[in-house]
């Protein structure tokens, strides 16, 4: 009894004065969204106050926290930063407030198409695109020269990339650990080969699984080839983004596919002297490699969309205003400069300040524009988990059997006929 009283006491002291408080659940970004929240609070002129609460580092765990609270119809979830792949699930479950068409037009205007697609479910917009992300091919210029290749040449493929690394005794860093980042790689390869993992997602657990296709086998071939070659990282099956970066900085560093944060991280580490000071000047970037020379690559798509909780007290009023502030073009630019996360609107990338800070801004913009979102389905967690489970470790991938096995496994998982 005393404990219960204590809890009430603790809970009651959250509201401050008369200003309505909106709680924004953010993914960790070293305080970038918290600073933006403060800016929007100030800009609201006392109409609302945004406080932030941080979610776990891992995308899957972010979803875990949000979904469990939303399922409890938690009214404390006013605004939330969502990984694009989890919007469909939350929308289908009725956890998110849909934006009426009039509002939606504003939030999608000038926004990259993959970001809009990922934020839309059943024809309605459920989240406002906030920032967008994609992967580039990062490489050591000196290694490319030695290998006699130009990663920026049109038609540069994974096969040529792996050959170049093998020839020069260097490595191709990728994300091969059993986590969402591996799914990012698989999906980009399948999409670049002209296929898709899930079709007809609107049919829920009856969606058609299409990973057992020529494109799926092509993706498996590349993964299997890299994983078994000398160009693979020794820790490929546990590598996430940072291991790939460390690999690039090491003595066998050559190439890697990775997100846009690399530029700032490398410059920061070089300045601190923990990596060789000449690495940033040796660092090159190119568009995501192709699967086949005659088909454009479909780079991965990531980022954050901002959703409004369906049970919040201010969901139709203040929360909408706050999201409008958060996702305004000037704030996207400000956030990009502050945190290094690319804006969701193409126009931001033409800003001179952005171009000065991010020399590869144009390439990032073009890559996001043609990026392939991961399957948009309410069962994304199961689809992704099932694919990862059958495609991991990368060295075990067999182009003849893995796509087929993973397809039937995804089906069984979707029908609750298998553990995951």
Partner 1 sequence: MTTLESAPAAGRRAGRRGTGRRGAGRADLSDRGRAERRLGLLLSAPAVIVMLMVTAYPLVNALYLSLFSYRITAPDDRRFVGLRNYATALTDSLFWQDVTTTFIVTAVTVVVELVVGFGLAMVMHRAVFARRTVRTAILLPYGIVTVISAFAWRYAFDLQSGFVNTWLGLGDYAWFSGRWSSLSVIVLSEIWKTTPFVSLLLLAGLAQVPRDLGEAATVDGATAWQRLWRVTVPNMKAAILVAVLFRTLDAWRIFDNVFVMTAGQQKTETLSFLTYRQTITRTAIGLGDAVGVLLFLSVVLIAVVFIRGFRVDLSRVRGDR
Partner 2 sequence: MESTRPKWPWIVASALILVWTIFPILWIVMLSFKRPGEVGNQKGFLPKHWTWDNYRTVFRTDLFTAALVNSIGISMIATFAGVVFATLVAYAIARLEFPGKKLILSFALAIAMFPVVSLVGPLFDLWRDLGLYDTWPGLIIPYISFALPLAIWTLSAFFREIPWEMEQAAQVDGATSWQAFRKVIVPLAAPGVFTAAILTFFFCWNDFVFGISLTSSDRARPVPAALAFFTGASQFEQPTTAICAAAVVVTVPVVVIVLAFQRRIVAGLTSGAVKG
Shortest gap between Cβ of 88 and partner 1 (angstroms)? 10
Stretch that binds partner 2, among 5-13, 112-120, 195-203, 409-417 (CB under 8 A): 5-13
Nearer to partner 2, 213 or 341 (CB): 341
Shortest gap between Cβ of 377 and partner 1 (angstroms)? 12
Selected binder of partner 2 within 79, 183, 236, 275 (CB under 8 A): 275
H/E stretch holding 328 reads none
Phi–psi pair at 244, nearest 5 degrees: -60, -40
- Confirm if 299 and 372 have CB atoms less than 8 A apart: yes
Phi–psi pair at 382, nearest 5 degrees: -70, -40
Nearer to partner 2, 157 or 243 (CB): 243
DSSP state of 289: P
Nearer to partner 1, 54 or 420 (CB): 420
Shortest gap between Cβ of 307 and partner 2 (angstroms)? 16
Choose the contact partner of 56 out of partner 1, partner 2, none; CB within 5 to 8 A by kind: partner 2
Contact set with partner 1 (CB under 8 A): 60-61, 64, 67-68, 71, 89-90, 92-93, 177-179, 234-238, 243, 246, 378, 381-382, 385, 392-393, 416-420
Residue 381's closest CA among 58, 145, 45?
A: 58
Nearer to partner 1, 19 or 238 (CB): 238
Choose the contact partner of 55 out of partner 2, partner 1, none; CB within 5 to 8 A by kind: partner 2
* DSSP codes of every residue in 150-214: -TTSTT-BHHHHHHHHHHHT--EE---SSSHHHHHHHHHHHHHTT--SEE-GGGGGGPEE--SSH
- Confirm if 173 and 239 have CB atoms less than 8 A apart: yes
Which residues in the 330-359 window bind partner 2 by CB under 8 A? 339-341
* DSSP codes of every residue in 89-155: HHHHTT-BPPBPHHHHHHHHTTB-HHHHHHHEETTEE-EEEEEEE-EEEEEEHHHHHHHT--TTSTT
Strand partners, 131: 304, 343
Shortest gap between Cβ of 272 and partner 1 (angstroms)? 16
Choose the contact partner of 11 out of partner 1, partner 2, none; CB within 5 to 8 A by kind: partner 2
Nearer to partner 1, 30 or 205 (CB): 205
Nearer to partner 2, 73 or 145 (CB): 73
Shortest gap between Cβ of 1 and partner 2 (angstroms)? 10
Stretch that binds partner 2, among 47-55, 122-130, 206-214, 409-417 (CB under 8 A): 47-55
Stretch that binds partner 2, among 21-29, 186-194, 326-334, 408-416 (CB under 8 A): 21-29
Stretch that binds partner 2, among 7-15, 280-288, 349-357, 387-395 (CB under 8 A): 7-15
Q: Which two tokens stand for residue 13?
A: 């002291």
**Cα 69 to the center of its chain, rounded Å:** 22
Burial of 63 (0-12, 13-18, 19+ CB in 10 A): buried
Nearer to partner 2, 246 or 420 (CB): 246
Q: How many CB atoms lie within 10 A of CB 121?
A: 23
Long-range contacts of the stretch 327-332 (C-beta < 8 A, 24+): 327/107, 327/128, 327/129, 327/130, 329/110, 331/36, 331/39, 331/40, 332/130, 332/131
- Contacting positions for partner 2 (CB under 8 A): 3-4, 6-7, 10-11, 27-30, 53-58, 61, 65, 68-69, 72, 240-243, 245-246, 249-250, 259, 261, 264-265, 268-269, 272, 274-275, 339-341
């Amino acid at each position: 009894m005393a404990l219960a009283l204590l809890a009430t006491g603790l809970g009651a002291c959250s509201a401050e004065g008369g200003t309505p408080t909106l709680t924004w659940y953010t993914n960790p970004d070293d305080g970038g969204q918290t600073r933006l929240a403060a800016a929007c609070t100030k800009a609201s002129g006392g109409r609302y106050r945004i406080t932030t609460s941080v979610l776990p580092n891992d995308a899957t765990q972010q979803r875990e926290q949000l979904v469990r609270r939303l399922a409890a119809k938690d009214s404390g979830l006013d605004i939330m930063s969502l990984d694009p792949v989890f919007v469909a699930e939350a929308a289908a479950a009725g956890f998110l407030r849909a934006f009426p068409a009039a509002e939606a037009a504003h939030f999608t205007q000038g926004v990259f198409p993959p970001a809009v697609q990922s934020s839309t479910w059943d024809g309605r917009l459920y989240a406002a695109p906030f920032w967008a992300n994609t992967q580039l091919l990062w490489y050591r210029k000196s290694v490319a020269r030695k290998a006699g290749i130009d990663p920026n040449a049109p038609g540069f493929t994974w096969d040529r990339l792996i050959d170049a690394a093998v020839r020069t005794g260097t490595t191709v860093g990728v994300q091969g650990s059993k986590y969402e980042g591996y799914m990012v790689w698989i999906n980009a390869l399948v999409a670049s080969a002209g296929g898709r993992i899930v079709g007809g997602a609107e049919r829920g657990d009856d969606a058609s699984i299409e990973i057992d296709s020529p494109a799926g086998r092509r993706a498996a071939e590349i993964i299997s080839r890299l994983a078994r070659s000398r160009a693979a990282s020794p820790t490929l099956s546990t590598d996430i983004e940072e291991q790939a970066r460390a690999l690039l900085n090491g003595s066998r560093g050559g190439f890697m596919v990775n997100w846009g944060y690399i530029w700032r991280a490398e410059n920061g580490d070089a300045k601190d002297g923990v990596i060789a000071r000449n690495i940033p000047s040796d660092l090159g970037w190119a568009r995501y490699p192709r699967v086949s020379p005659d088909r454009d690559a479909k780079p991965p798509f990531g980022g954050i969309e901002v959703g409004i909780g369906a049970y919040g007290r201010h969901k139709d009023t203040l929360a909408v205003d706050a999201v409008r502030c958060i996702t305004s073009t000037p704030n996207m630019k400000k956030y990009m400069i502050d945190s290094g996360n690319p804006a969701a609107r193409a126009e931001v990338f033409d800003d001179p300040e952005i171009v000065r800070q991010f020399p590869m801004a144009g390439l990032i913009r073009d890559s996001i524009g043609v990026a392939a979102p991961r399957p948009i389905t309410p069962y994304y967690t199961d689809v992704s988990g099932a694919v990862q489970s059958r495609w991991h470790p990368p060295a075990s991938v067999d182009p003849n059997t893995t796509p087929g096995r993973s397809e039937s496994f995804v089906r069984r998982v979707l029908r609750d006929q298998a553990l995951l």
